[in-house]
Amino acid sequence: MKICIVFDNRSFRPGFVSGWGFSAFLEPPGILFDTGSETKALLDNFSLFNISLEKIHSIFLSHFHWDHTGGLLGMLPLLQTPRVFLHSGFSSGFMVEIKRLRGEPVIIDRPQEIAPDIFSTGPLAGPVPEAGLIIKIKRQLALLTGCAHPGILEMVKETKRIFGQSPFLVLGGFHLLRTSHKKALSLACALREEGVQLAAPSHCTGEKALQAFADIFQDGFLEIGAGKVLKLEELS
Ligand SMILES: [Fe+2]
Ligand SMILES: [Fe+2]
């Protein structure tokens, strides 16, 4: 399985548009994780990847923030089977909009498989309720986060509680913009102690925390940005 970063605060490859937000495409099975903050940049990056929109079978939304949902409504009319996995943390008005654009909202409020070997953790409580996406790969787990508002450590621990093992890879926004380098160092150490081997922080992680994760994870630190492709089989 490939994870293509289609929207991020940083651009990893020339030509790819960056912007505030996050989105990643999982292929196979064709699941879009979050949708960045706006449709045009998302679609431009999709075409740079040479990925046809027909390949998007469903969309998973982590939490109800504009920088993760902003690309959705403009994209829905272009999709063949616009099923949208979300949870009760989204407004009823947003769900009405999805239906108006012929999308099919599917509410998932507890851990559940949404495609073979791909699961939602269900929403974790936090300043903003947020669900993580879990990918099972060669008996290991990868955890994708939107902003990790409930806390990246808490999301890793919840993964362990649900599945009986910690993720070997965590990827996405860690929301540590106001966290000092020192605090981020101890958080990175705590994640390693939980069994996380690869850290791919992006989006709202913040410069100081990015440096702290690079310091602690060393070769296990993966630089992320729009245009990046991760082949999970090669990492696990
Ligand atoms: Fe965000
Ligand atoms: Fe957020």
Q: How close is the Cα of 54 to the center of ligand 2, in Å? A: 28
Say if CB 117 and CB 142 are below 8 A apart. Answer: no
Q: How many A from CA of 12 to the centre of ligand 1?
A: 18
Centre of ligand 1 to C-alpha 145, Å, is 10
End-to-end CA gap in the chain: 11
| Residue ranges making up the domain that contains 44 | 2-235
**Which amino acid, residue 136?**
K
Q: Which CATH number do you get for residue 127?
A: 3.60.15.10
pLDDT (tens digit per residue) in 92-120: 999 999 999 999 999 999 999 999 999 99
Q: Residue 87 Cα, ligand 2 centroid: separation in angstroms? A: 15
Structural domain tally of the chain?
1
Separation of 227 CA from ligand 2 center, angstroms?
21
160 vs 22: CA distance, rounded Å: 24
Cα of 169 vs centre of ligand 2, distance in Å, is: 20
Q: Are 156 and 167 in contact (CB under 8 A)?
A: yes
- Sign of the CA dihedral running 110, 72, 223, 213: negative
The widest CA-to-CA distance across the chain, in whole angstroms, is 48
Distance between Cα 138 and ligand 2 center (Å) = 30
pTM: 0.98
Rounded to the nearest angstrom, the distance between the alpha carbon of 6 and the centre of ligand 1 is 14
Q: Which of 151, 167, 170 is nearest to 222 (CA)?
A: 170
For the segment 125-137, what is each residue's pLDDT rounded down to a tens digit? 999 999 999 999 9
pLDDT of 157 above 80: yes
